[in-house]
Amino acid sequence: MLTPQRRPEPLTSPAAFAVFTMILTQGPVSRVEIARRTGLSSAAVTKAARPFIDAGYLRELDATERSAPGAGRPASPLTIRSDREFFIGVKITDSELIGVVTDLSAQVQVTAHRALPSPSVQDVVAELAALVADLLASAPEYGDRCHSLGMAISGDVDKAGGLVRYSPFLGWHQVPLAELVAARTGLSVTVENDVKALTVAEQWFGEGIGASSFAVVTVGTGIGCGLVVNDRVVAGAHGVAGEIGHVPVGGDGPPCHCGGAGCVEAIAGTEPILVAARAATGDESLTIERVLAIARAGDPAMREVLARAGHAIGLAMAAMANLFGPERIIVTGDVAGLASYELVEKQITRAFAGQAFGAAADCRVILRPRTFEQWARGAAAVAIQSLFTLQET
């Protein structure tokens, strides 16, 4: 068992940030290869890596290759010591909490679910504290090597201030969630919008590796989008960049919970699809699962409802691609959202291709199912990134 050791100092050196994140996201990798990719000297790479080796975050593997034919001693690749530290991630919905513990490489070690008696702030914070206690108690090493908690929640989140400014599905306004949860758990707490958290996981540990610019589009209860441009997650001046769910594509209606009209989310979100389906059939008992089943059976009314949703999503994706020019778009979402995607893929693709300008239409679109546990993993990835992100002096 590892003995708890000191953490490295905050990353104030661009070289330290470049070296550590390359090893974390793309390792094992030799110092020679790091120097080649980053443009740093071999001495600078060694200097940047040394504090992380001393603190137990990195280790050297056996020598495998020489830097050049006939040159010096073989290179020893550097790799992450994944069990050096663990991280808790929690996805908050309006009815339950989904929690995970991950290692330093964002590999999920254990998962847990906890139902919420209500979406009130008091109840959510109390259940969060209980869930964290359960997760920490699930393995003895977590108590010594788990110091950080990331939380992912839908809505307008001020990550720097740990504030949930507005979460429509929870009915929250101006909730200092990080402060409240830190006081109950004693952990270092980070709060992020759930789509941006999923984007961080894709950037550092998923489909976004190797792409300097990409987008994550989520389909489900809401329609969300996370953006990475020039290797950075785009937050915008007010933290709400990428909200393609509120791009107006439907004229004057239907009304959206944001106060606007014709938003993508007001057409293609789970609840609007249900509303349209019930209106088309007169059956108020319809569930989203039943709507999808009827559509798969070929019902034209249900297929029309879903086709309209797909068209709206495709238009929003094209608008985003025209503005930001991502290398790839990763489409994911909750269970219902992904189940409906197969029924609207043609409409999405057709609308995207018809509206995307020039080479933007060649953007690669990737469908990747993601369970709620993966959204919780995204929250843990934000905690990992927050610990090792470059800080200003």
Same domain, 27 and 107: no
212, 348: one domain: yes
Digit-by-digit pLDDT tens for the chain (393 residues) are 333 344 545 455 788 888 998 999 888 999 999 999 989 998 999 999 998 998 889 999 877 654 445 455 556 799 999 999 999 999 999 999 999 999 999 999 999 999 999 999 999 999 999 999 999 999 999 988 999 999 999 888 999 999 999 998 899 999 999 999 999 999 999 999 999 999 999 999 998 988 899 999 988 888 889 999 998 888 877 667 778 889 998 877 788 888 888 999 999 988 999 999 999 999 999 998 899 889 989 999 999 999 999 899 999 999 999 988 899 999 887 645 555 667 788 888 889 989 988 888 888 888 777 778 999 999 999 999 888 775 543
Would residue 5 count as lying in a domain? no
Q: How far apart are CA 118 and CA 330, in angstroms?
A: 32
327 domain-assigned: yes
Residues with Cβ within 8 Å of residue 225, at least 6 apart in sequence: 195, 215, 216, 217, 218, 242, 243, 244, 245, 316, 320
pLDDT of 210 reads: 84
| Whether 243 and 193 share a structural domain | no
Same domain, 126 and 72: no
Same-domain status, 165 and 243: no
Nearest Cα neighbor of 224 from 251, 198, 256 is 198
The verdict on 216 and 290 lying in the same domain is yes
Phi, psi of 127 (to 5 degrees): -70, -35
How many domains does the chain contain in total?
3
Residue among 95, 318, 52, 332 at smallest CA distance from 195: 332
Instruction: Say if 110 falls within a structural domain.
Output: yes
pTM over 0.75: yes
Residue 231 lies in a domain: yes
Phi, psi angles (nearest 5°) of residue 228? -120, 125
Q: Are strands 223-229 and 232-233 parallel, antiparallel or unpaired?
A: antiparallel
Q: Among 48, 83, 118, where does a domain finish?
A: 83
- Whether residues 248 and 303 share a domain: the answer is yes
**What is the extent of the structural domain holding 27?**
14-83
Do 229 and 355 lie in one domain? The reply is: yes
Question: Is residue 9 assigned to a domain?
Answer: no
Q: Considering the domain boundaries, does residue 393 fall inside one? A: no
Give residue-wise pLDDT tens across range 303-359: 999 999 989 999 999 999 998 889 999 988 764 555 566 778 888 888 998 998 888
Do 27 and 152 lie in one domain? The reply is: no
Of 23, 51, 83, the last residue of a domain is 83
| Residue ending a domain, choose from 83, 104, 136 | 83
In which element (H, E) is residue 168 found?
Answer: none
Read off the pLDDT of residues 158-168 as tens digits, 9 standing for 90 and up. 999 999 999 98
Check whether residue 69 and residue 101 sit in a common domain. no
288: in domain: yes
Note whether 182 and 214 are same-domain residues. Answer: no
pLDDT in tens, 130-149: 999 999 999 999 988 999 99
Give residues with Cβ within 8 angstroms of 78, minimum separation 6. Answer: 23, 27, 28, 29, 30, 31, 34, 49, 53, 58, 59, 60, 61
CATH number for 51: 1.10.10.10
Could you tell me if residue 3 is inside a domain?
A: no
Strands 188-193 and 146-153: parallel
Q: 371: closest CA among 341, 346, 338, 347?
A: 338
Are 218 and 194 part of one and the same domain?
no
Nearest to 97 by CA among 386, 375, 389, 383: 375
Q: What is the CATH number of the domain that holds 193?
A: 3.30.420.40
